[in-house]
Amino acid sequence: MAGVRDRYAALYRDEWPTERLQFFSDAVFAIAMTLLVLDIDIPDVDSSRLGNALRDAQPQLFAFVLSFAVIAATWVAHHRRFEIVRVADTRLVQLNFALLLVVTFLPFPTAVLSEYGSETPAVVLYAGTVAALGLIQLVTWSHVRKAGLLNSEIDEGTYRYGRRVHAVDPAVFLASIVVALLGFPLAAMLTWLAIPPGSWLVRRTADGGGSVS
Amino acid sequence: MAGVRDRYAALYRDEWPTERLQFFSDAVFAIAMTLLVLDIDIPDVDSSRLGNALRDAQPQLFAFVLSFAVIAATWVAHHRRFEIVRVADTRLVQLNFALLLVVTFLPFPTAVLSEYGSETPAVVLYAGTVAALGLIQLVTWSHVRKAGLLNSEIDEGTYRYGRRVHAVDPAVFLASIVVALLGFPLAAMLTWLAIPPGSWLVRRTADGGGSVS
Amino acid sequence: MAGVRDRYAALYRDEWPTERLQFFSDAVFAIAMTLLVLDIDIPDVDSSRLGNALRDAQPQLFAFVLSFAVIAATWVAHHRRFEIVRVADTRLVQLNFALLLVVTFLPFPTAVLSEYGSETPAVVLYAGTVAALGLIQLVTWSHVRKAGLLNSEIDEGTYRYGRRVHAVDPAVFLASIVVALLGFPLAAMLTWLAIPPGSWLVRRTADGGGSVS
Amino acid sequence: MAGVRDRYAALYRDEWPTERLQFFSDAVFAIAMTLLVLDIDIPDVDSSRLGNALRDAQPQLFAFVLSFAVIAATWVAHHRRFEIVRVADTRLVQLNFALLLVVTFLPFPTAVLSEYGSETPAVVLYAGTVAALGLIQLVTWSHVRKAGLLNSEIDEGTYRYGRRVHAVDPAVFLASIVVALLGFPLAAMLTWLAIPPGSWLVRRTADGGGSVS
């Protein structure tokens, strides 16, 4: 009776239409984004001190906006990626779940950063989580090309350029972990601000020079 | 090797189909709306005092219904706007995320209003948040016309009329901040009730007179 | 310059496609349903007493399953209604938001019932909320017919039969409020169990007799 | 006036298009998955002890990842099943709600496991919940074939093979309950790791031998 396994397997396509995958991912992004607000503590003080208490909540507000921006940027990148992906294979589904796992986890490091500010473990946990988001997307970029899941062919130079663009965020966040572990957690948080100019520089360099490795 | 950047950029369209944007926004609206209920405290009293405790929860219920109405009105406006928007550009995506940031934040001011009632800082925070919702939508209205993202042409008069309609909510909420800061937080909350008649008046005036500036 | 208002109004259709409305409603149903679990308290006891603590959580589990069933039944009714509704008008959008307001509110009475069991105020609050769900749906049934929003004509008898079917739930829950206020909250909860047989009886009677009023 | 009931019933189709059912289920999966993070406690310690506190959160992290994997696997199975289901009947809708009830409940056993680690009642509750997920899916597999809801015919051998594949998870989790009740909760948790190899073995055996019963 050999062949039962094959007949069962044949019921299901190897390829996944990307629509339900995108939809499901969008829902996870939207929920993770909306849960972040729960990390801002409602002040529990005398009415007369409410104004001060709200001003004291500024670091929590910073963490909220930061994580909102991280999820928004990840959503935009996800959206654009699936615009050029024709179909998903099992490995892409797995990589997508790895990404979603990190996205759903993000409210935890956000809450820790929100409570403990620039303490080294809080900064390392946060930077590690965001770096993981970036690394998974870097691997995904490489996978979708190698597995031929893209809408159209892309040449080696463009692929490498894309890889560089994808590498900026995890590189900065991993570097910031080193800075934090050396005892400068506040400086580590400041390096996160290097991402917009760093991203710009990478795009310029890659464009001008021929040494895209 | 100049051109890599261009070839990479060419992978992605400058224009975004609005469908996934709407879907994602809807999910955020729905979640923010549903999280509001978590701000109503479950009474923690003796069974014999439960009835009184539930009656005491009325200000929390008021804040819940108010924020539900704010999100519902924003959803309706969002829905209508995207009905006449043909396609989104990057700036519209950014404006949309700014709107969603404020929507996901709303449960916090709601909880503060819910706990502290008509205290000045609570009223100012709430009014400022709702005013921000309105201002972002006003800027969006202007952007979608100027960037040519609309389905069909609209004449200058209709555009200005729409701008006026969009300005009512933020104007009232900003005015209420002044009233609250002058020491009359309860009166400030009452001005919010001026929105339905104010909205009606603006529509009438704009229609009758020729002085739409 | 009379006419600006009309030109602005003409930008938007009076009729709403039901698709985004259904989608948005589905998201709210799904979230409200999933938030219910947060009302079950995680036991905070000695490890040796965990088994007992979990057994003591049974009333909370009952409240969880009850509210899950209420939302599931409302979703099914919503789904079926929009299957026969061709298009939505502003009033239907408003009725739909009224329904969603009550759905998002449901986790609160569920939590109160969960904490206080068969106390009169907890039972009255819960029954009132579910009765409101039913009444809004009864009004909606009447509205979609009168406003001509249905896919196809339905005759008076069928319409009245549908009205009766829709009236069972709110009637039982309103009756249970009376029973609870008379001092029998536990009996009131038991009347909720009358809904499945009551529903069956109404359908039988309406079918056999001609006195559908 | 007999027939009113029939005319009312005729308004609604017996068969449900699967699209909105899938959409609604996806939203529930996404939300349950994202709520899991709320079970990881934000440390409430001195800044100097934050690092230790985060390391102590590892069992909570394990429970988070485990339940994420359970929901992800259930989503994948759900996705695949609805790929081969042509249409849904009322019974499938009921089975789907039973599945969703257990999915929305999962954050509770996860939180208990997270707090109490390898205590017998925590392990039994968790294993029972996941076993229920598997059993409902086993019944569903049988129902969709018998009710003729599938896209295409499948022969008896393939059906039985699928039944075996579906039976692995609940069998392991039910067995682990016995192990836990015998006083070995930690060993019970380890048996969960038998699922990937067990699944592989079942597929091999079924394929090679003719004794698929």
Give pLDDT tens digits for A159-179: 898 898 889 889 999 999 999
Nearest Cα to Cα of residue D100 among A191, C190, C29: C29
Q: How many residues does chain D have?
A: 213
Whether residues B27 and A30 touch (CB distance < 8 A) is answered with yes
Q: Is A168 on the interface with B (CB under 8 A)?
A: no
Report ipTM (2 d.p.): 0.88
Residue C199 predicted with pLDDT over 80: no
Residue B112 with chain A: CB contacts under 8 Å: 42-43, 50, 54
A200-209, B47-56, B59-68, B123-132: which range is least confident on average? A200-209
Which band of pLDDT confidence, cut at 50, 70 and 90, is reported for residue D210? Answer: very low
D88: which strand partners?
D16
Which band of pLDDT confidence, cut at 50, 70 and 90, is reported for residue C9? Answer: confident
Helix (H, G, I), strand (E, B) or coil at B194: helix
Give the dihedral of Cα atoms B45, B47, B49, B53; nearest 10 deg: 60
Nearest-CA distance from D18 to chain C in Å?
Answer: 12
Of A8, A12, A121, the CB nearest to D54: A121
Residue A120 with chain D: CB contacts under 8 Å: 51
pLDDT at D207: 53
Nearest Cα to Cα of residue B186 among B97, B90, B93, B119: B119
Nearest-CA distance from A108 to chain D in Å?
Answer: 7
Here the tokens at position B172 are 């009232």
Identify residue B146 by its one-letter amino acid code: K
Sequence-ordered list of residues with C-beta below 8 angstroms from that of A121, at least 6 positions apart, any chain: A112, D50, D51, D54
Nearest Cα to Cα of residue D174 among D135, D128, D112, D113: D128
Nearest Cα to Cα of residue A71 among B170, B24, C23, D121: B24
pLDDT at A15: 75
Residue D138 predicted with pLDDT over 90: yes
Residue D101 with chain C: CB contacts under 8 Å: 65, 68
Nearest CA in chain C to D118: C47
DSSP category for residue C16:
B
Nearest Cα to Cα of residue D71 among A46, C116, C59, A24: A24
Q: Are A154 and A141 in contact (CB under 8 A)?
A: no
Whether residues B108 and A212 touch (CB distance < 8 A) is answered with no
Of C27, C97, C122, the CB nearest to B72: C97
Residue C4 predicted with pLDDT over 70: yes
**Of C27-36, C191-200, D188-197, which has the strongest mean pLDDT?**
C27-36
Sequence-ordered list of residues with C-beta below 8 angstroms from that of A99, at least 6 positions apart, any chain: A25, A74, A78, A133, A136, A137, A140
D150: which strand partners?
D85
- Give this prediction's pTM: 0.90
CB atoms within 10 A of CB A89: 16
Q: Which of B6, B11, B35 to mutate to test the interface with A (most CBs of A within 10 A)?
A: B11
Which band of pLDDT confidence, cut at 50, 70 and 90, is reported for residue D208? Answer: very low
Here the tokens at position A178 are 């080193």
Q: Mark which residues 3-32 of B lie under 8 Å from C by CB.
A: 22-23, 26-27, 29-31
